[in-house]
Amino acid sequence: MNAIKACIFDLDGVIIDTAKYHFKAWSEIAENLGIQFDQKLNENLKGVGRMESLDYILSLANVTKSDEEKIELATTKNNNYLKLIANIDRKELLNGVLSFLDDLKKNNFLIALGSSSKNAKLILDTVQLSPYFDAIIDGNDTTHSKPDPEVFIKGSVALGVSPKNIVVFEDAPKGVEAAKKGGFKCIGIGEWKNLIHADYVMDGFSNFLTKDLARIY
Ligand code: B16
Ligand code: MG
């Protein structure tokens, strides 16, 4: 057994419930393009970078756009999203996540963020969580989207801790795949049926503390 020394958290769907705003912002784009898009299809965008998400939505109706048009659409989506998250606060945090972060700090675990979002730092600042993180790796630091393990590997390097001593918390199937590919331990947040490759799955952090990591690993 390898001792756990650090945790890497995904952002959307693990720390904060922002997935609904991504969905709303993409829905507006899809509707303007006449593309059918719903909650179920949106599941495929969890953990996926902005441009890859746009490519997926366009592919649903075999729509082709030039690179310039794609940049414009992605920018419009992001502007919609930024308006939707302008007033978010700690009420949007997942249940129990704050107590777990406090407990990790108290017990001297290192903490990193590993998110595909280019808005991650803005979101952490808005809900005043940035000081908890020893390293923040987001969509601005990576060239390969999850399921590539790049974001978590960079987190591991920044913390100076080997992947086998790190637990990644992820809500997206592609994020779990990325963590396992990188040699990390991984706890899925959500439903088991969507996260079957995780070591353990739970629906949130309610009553989950550092001592529970020792119970799982
Ligand atoms: P942005 P995560 C991901 O964040 C979201 O799950 C995904 O839906 C989104 O498209 C992606 O970030 C990019 O976000 O447009 O803000 O750069 O789950 O990896 O924290
Ligand atoms: Mg996520």
Both tokens of 43, joined, read 């599941």
pLDDT in tens, 61-89: 999 999 999 999 999 999 999 999 999 99
Mean pLDDT of 8-19: 96
Of 48, 64, 37, 122, whose CA–CA distance to 88 is shortest?
A: 122
Regarding the beta carbon of 11 and ligand 1, being less than 6 Å apart is answered yes
Catalytic residue check, 125: no
DSSP run (H or E) holding 76: helix 67-84
Mean pLDDT of 207-216: 95
Answer whether 150's CB lies under 8 Å from 174's CB: no
Q: Which residues does 151 contact at the CB level (< 8 Å), separation at least 6? A: 114, 115, 116, 137, 138, 141, 142, 178
Question: Domains plus CATH for the chain?
Answer: 6-17+91-216 (3.40.50.1000), 19-84 (1.10.150.240)
Catalytic residue check, 12: yes
Regarding the beta carbon of 13 and ligand 1, being less than 6 Å apart is answered yes
CA of 46 to the centre of ligand 2 (A): 6
Question: Which residue type is seen at 179?
Answer: A
Regarding the beta carbon of 150 and ligand 1, being less than 6 Å apart is answered no
Looking at residue 20, what is its pLDDT?
Answer: 93
**CA angle in degrees (0–180, nearest 5) for 5-6-8:** 160
Q: Who surrounds ion ligand 2 at CB < 5 A?
A: 10, 12-13, 47, 171-172
Atom of ligand 1 nearest to the CA of 116: 19
* Torsion angle of the four alpha carbons 85, 88, 94, 99, in this order, in degrees rounded to the nearest 10: 140
pLDDT in tens, 111-148: 999 999 999 999 999 999 999 999 999 999 999 999 99
* Torsion angle of the four alpha carbons 6, 11, 16, 20, in this order, in degrees rounded to the nearest 10: -160
CA–CA separation, 186 and 44 (whole Å): 19
Answer whether 32's CB lies under 8 Å from 52's CB: no
Instruction: Tell the residue nearest (CA) to atom 5 of ligand 1.
Output: 47
pLDDT in tens, 144-191: 999 999 999 999 999 999 999 999 999 999 999 999 999 999 999 999
